[in-house]
A and B are shown apart, each in its own frame.
Chain A
Amino acid sequence: VAHCPRFSAQTLSVLAALCADPSLWRHGYSIARDTGLKSGTLYPILIRLADRDLMEASWEDEQPAGRPRRHLYRLTPGGLATARAALAQNPAPAPVRPPAGRPARRRIAVRGAL
């Protein structure tokens, strides 16, 4: 049984966005668009999720043309189980739109050591 800590409504909306396609690496602005959260609210949530080992983060492997490399996020297996348990208990996060694309990625660093 996954441990199910208490999450705020904003955190639940982020978890819902990341749960929509758990294998997909998402970037911050796409999560912000899906959840409607502002960057000053979204990033502290992402940091806390990574600190608790619920989410992993990595930079894009290659330098894309015309824009900086993105920092990408997805749930860890433990995070996915926790998110699903939390969302099952609180099934009313902000509506989630399907992400637009799958960015190229290479894991450079994994955050999440508590």
Chain B
Amino acid sequence: MSALTRAMGALLRRLAVLLPAHRREWAEALAAEAAEVPPGAQRLAWLAGGLRLAAGQARLGRRVGWSLAFGAAAMGTAWSGWGGAPADPAVLVNRVDVIVIVVILAGLPLAVRRLFGPVRDSAPARIGRAVGYAAIFALVLVKAVVQRFAYVPPNTGAVTGVAWTGEILFLAAMAAYASGILAVTARRPPAAPATLSVGTAAGAAIGLVIYVLGPLGYPLRFAGAWPAGLYDAALALAVVAGLAVTVATGRTAVRRAARQAGPLAAADPARQGAMAGLCAGATAALLISVLSTGTIALLPHEAGLLQWAMAHLGATSIFGRGTQHAYEVNNSVYAAGYFLVLVLFPVLGSGIAAWGGFGAAGPPGRPRQGPGRGCPLAPGPAQLDADHRAA
């Protein structure tokens, strides 16, 4: 019994080291109190409670769960992307993608943590980080599937060898996206959390609408006059709505940031707007890329079947009388175009929403009324953090 007590005490002291500094002394206090507790079952129960406390404060369950989920996603991506003949260029590309992405996603949190801190202690931040990572894994996975068609020698025609420049740019873009996901969900994000949540929500809505209107990345062509007219009208409306939503995102982000983070955020509306737009553009681009490339990857690789389905849906053929491979290769090569979406959407979103945010700021030199009902500006978490650090 005494050996077990000593072992549990030692384990508690080891676990205490894992805790943040402001929590460590509580575990140390509990360990110190163990000497007061009558030996035997009571002291064991006391120390067991201490272990439970330390595990809870160290978020051990969450850490283990996150590690297991990350490992499972990495193994699933590797399992799906690894197969094929070594001589196939697509297999080489896919294997490089899997290895580099796993290294990037595992290593970046350590680097980003130094700049922006660990993950924010809120459910939306943790869920956002997990969903963002899952989206990157999913994109690598569906890219691996479509690349198998893009690199099939009899169908590629002009494609010879591996386009390594494109691969490097893709991996660099994924590293940038992963860094962004980690930064916006960190404890010291580059913008007010309200700004980032507004941008993410707007980006998800824009991305879904674009995907629904063109699930393969290009406009559909309908056979009938009225469906074609309706579809064209919906496309035009979507473009206007997308621009309007992006501008509104900038304006809303500035107002909500002023309410949440105080006058510091309100004083820099263009930056808050730009960050919201960046978030919206990146979210929309990632969503569109994953869903559209996934659709291309999951479509039946049988030209005749798809031809039959499209005819019964009232749409014209989206491909000619070519072979099954021609259709697959066309779509697979088209999927590479999503790299442009991944780069351009955040840039465009940032610029448009910055303009919207700047417009929401009003004339310079006139302080804005933050909460909107005459209440004084309440310090938000970012301000409290700043005050705490200054103190």
Main secondary structure of the interface of A (DSSP, over half): mixed
Report yes or no: A44 in contact with B53, Cβ–Cβ below 8 A.
yes
Stretch at the interface among A63-71, A74-82, A85-93: A63-71
Q: Quick one: which of A43, A67, A109 contacts B36, CB cutoff 8 A?
A: A67
Report yes or no: A40 in contact with B32, Cβ–Cβ below 8 A.
no
Interface residues of A in 26-59 (CB under 8 A from B): 27-29, 32, 38-44, 46-47, 57, 59
Report yes or no: A29 in contact with B48, Cβ–Cβ below 8 A.
no
> How many A-B pairs fall under 8 Å by CB?
64
Given contact pairs A39-B30, A113-B388, A71 touches B53 in the complex (Cβ within 8 A): no
Stretch at the interface among B21-29, B180-188, B267-275: B21-29
Query: Chain A residue with minimal CB distance to B53?
Result: A43
Query: Chain B residue with minimal CB distance to A50?
Result: B26
Report yes or no: B36 in contact with A29, Cβ–Cβ below 8 A.
yes
CB neighbours of B49 from chain A (8 A): 38-43
Report yes or no: A70 in contact with B29, Cβ–Cβ below 8 A.
yes
Whether B302 is near chain A, meaning CB under 8 Å from some CB there, is: no
Query: Chain A residue with minimal CB distance to B46?
Result: A39
Report yes or no: A70 in contact with B26, Cβ–Cβ below 8 A.
no
Report yes or no: A43 in contact with B30, Cβ–Cβ below 8 A.
yes
Complexed CA–CA distance, A42 and B28 (Å)? 14
B69 → chain A, closest Cβ, in Å?
26
Whether B88 is near chain A, meaning CB under 8 Å from some CB there, is: no
B71 → chain A, closest Cβ, in Å?
29
Give the contact-size bracket for chain A.
Answer: 20 to 34
Q: Quick one: which of B32, B46, B47 contacts A70, CB cutoff 8 A?
A: B32
Query: Chain A residue with minimal CB distance to B384?
Result: A114
Interface residues of B in 7-64 (CB under 8 A from A): 22-23, 25-26, 28-33, 35-37, 45-50, 52-53, 56-57
CB neighbours of B23 from chain A (8 A): 47
Most buried by B among A28, A57, A70, A113: A28
Report yes or no: B25 in contact with A71, Cβ–Cβ below 8 A.
yes
Chain B 70-90 against A: per-residue CB contact (8 Å), 1 yes, 0 no? Answer: 000000000000000000000
Report yes or no: A68 in contact with B32, Cβ–Cβ below 8 A.
yes
CB neighbours of A41 from chain B (8 A): 49
Report yes or no: B26 in contact with A47, Cβ–Cβ below 8 A.
yes
CB neighbours of A68 from chain B (8 A): 31-32, 35
Complexed CA–CA distance, A59 and B32 (Å)? 11
Complexed CA–CA distance, A44 and B54 (Å)? 10
B381 → chain A, closest Cβ, in Å?
11
CB neighbours of B48 from chain A (8 A): 40
Report yes or no: B56 in contact with A28, Cβ–Cβ below 8 A.
no
Most buried by A among B36, B48, B56: B36
A10 → chain B, closest Cβ, in Å?
13
Report yes or no: B50 in contact with A39, Cβ–Cβ below 8 A.
yes
Report yes or no: A29 in contact with B53, Cβ–Cβ below 8 A.
no
Q: Quick one: which of B26, B29, B35, B46 contacts A67, CB cutoff 8 A?
A: B35
B382 → chain A, closest Cβ, in Å?
15
Query: Chain A residue with minimal CB distance to B47?
Result: A39
Report yes or no: A69 in contact with B30, Cβ–Cβ below 8 A.
no
Complexed CA–CA distance, A70 and B47 (Å)? 16
Complexed CA–CA distance, A39 and B50 (Å)? 6
Complexed CA–CA distance, A32 and B48 (Å)? 14
Complexed CA–CA distance, A109 and B30 (Å)? 17
Interface residues of A in 86-114 (CB under 8 A from B): 109, 111, 113-114
Complexed CA–CA distance, A3 and B23 (Å)? 26
B36 → chain A, closest Cβ, in Å?
4
Chain B residues within CB distance 8 Å of chain A: 22-23, 25-26, 28-33, 35-37, 45-50, 52-53, 56-57, 384, 388
Q: 4 additional contacts, CB 8 Å, given A38-B49, A43-B53?
A: A28-B29, A28-B33, A32-B46, A70-B32
**Can you show 6 pairs from A to B with CB atoms below 8 A apart?**
A27-B33, A43-B50, A44-B56, A47-B57, A57-B29, A68-B35
